[in-house]
Amino acid sequence: MVGIIHRDKESPPLLLALMEKIKPHVVTLEFSHYGMRFRQRRGEELKKTIDDAVAILSASIPFVNREAVSSLYAYVEMPYEYEVAKQYCDDHAIPLHLIDMDIFSYERLQHIEELLSLDNIQKMLVAPERKGTVQEKALAQLFFEKGMRVVPYTEEMYVRDEYMSRRIQHVMASHTDMRLLHICGWHHLQDPYHVYDHLNPVKVFVYDQTVCF
């Protein structure tokens, strides 16, 4: 299990390097088919919505929160972990399985029009910048280096992890004696209810390049 930081611009080459080091025979990914199809169908249209809103609002806003703009793009673009995993799997002719639950993607993406409304984008553009991925890295290091669980583990995460662990077990049953790599947000590696224990995973943080395989 490789834990990543979602929407982190520094992670793609690190994830690819780990995949090249692990050399999996099959890959599973914390991403839903609904989320993939939604971005394929509407991604370009929604990026244009963001561009148009930023162009309109920039004229009247003295300081534009560029982190907020990047966050909006990341919400409607294909996640880098999908792009990296798909390219690796295509290059090595191995299967890639998207195993997250469609229902949660559906519920979140149903509010996309509200998220990308002119009023909401204006609020985001004038908000102070926050170093989101920097904070995520610090929280992850506290967990991996000191075992401190500083991020809440929600009921939704438990439901999704239960589902994904069953999906992984099913994939493993169809690919016996093969090395399986699961890519997910690092929060899922906390696994306080031990739903992945029966799979006996080796857990790796994408920034930890000292792990040997």
Asked if residue 146 belongs to a domain, the reply is: yes
Asked if residue 51 belongs to a domain, the reply is: no
Q: Helix 33-58 vs helix 66-76: angle between axes, to the nearest 10 degrees?
A: 150
Distance CA 94, CA 151 (A): 34
Q: Is the per-residue pLDDT at 17 higher than 90?
A: yes
Asked if residue 48 belongs to a domain, the reply is: no
Contacts of 184 (CB under 8 A, 6+ apart): 1, 2, 3, 4, 29, 30, 164
Edge-to-edge strand list for the sheet holding 2-4:
96-98, 26-29, 180-185, 2-4, 204-205
Domain residues for 85?
A: 2-40+79-110+129-205
3-state secondary structure of 148: coil
Asked if residue 71 belongs to a domain, the reply is: no
Neighbours of 113 (CB within 10 A): 11
Asked if residue 28 belongs to a domain, the reply is: yes
Q: How many domains does the chain have?
A: 1
Query: Token pair of 42, please?
Result: 């509407």
Q: Residue 19 half-sphere exposure, CB side, CA atoms within 13 Å?
A: 29
Percent of the chain scoring above 90 in pLDDT: 67
Asked if residue 70 belongs to a domain, the reply is: no
Enter the pTM of the model: 0.90
Asked if residue 152 belongs to a domain, the reply is: yes
Query: Token pair of 117, please?
Result: 């409304």
Per residue in 42-93, pLDDT (tens digit) is 999 999 999 999 999 988 887 778 888 888 898 899 999 999 999 999 999 9
Contacts of 96 (CB under 8 A, 6+ apart): 27, 28, 29, 85, 86, 89
Instruction: Using alpha carbons, select from 70, 17, 74, 48 the residue that is nearest to residue 209.
Output: 17
If you ran DSSP here, which 8-state letter would residue 185 be given?
Answer: E
Q: Helix 33-58 vs helix 102-109: angle between axes, to the nearest 10 degrees?
A: 20
Per residue in 151-198, pLDDT (tens digit) is 788 999 999 999 999 999 999 999 999 999 999 999 999 899 999 999
Angle at 153 between CA 151 and CA 157, to 5 degrees: 130
Q: Is the per-residue pLDDT at 203 higher than 70?
A: yes
Asked if residue 117 belongs to a domain, the reply is: no
Q: Helix 66-76 vs helix 118-126: angle between axes, to the nearest 10 degrees?
A: 140
Q: Is the per-residue pLDDT at 101 higher than 60?
A: yes
pLDDT band at residue 212 under the 50/70/90 scheme: very low
pLDDT band at residue 209 under the 50/70/90 scheme: low
Residue 87: its pLDDT value, please? 98
Distance CA 201, CA 195 (A): 11
Mean pLDDT (whole number) for 117-146: 76
| Contact between residue 67 and residue 89 where contact means Cβ atoms under 8 Å apart | no
pLDDT band at residue 211 under the 50/70/90 scheme: low
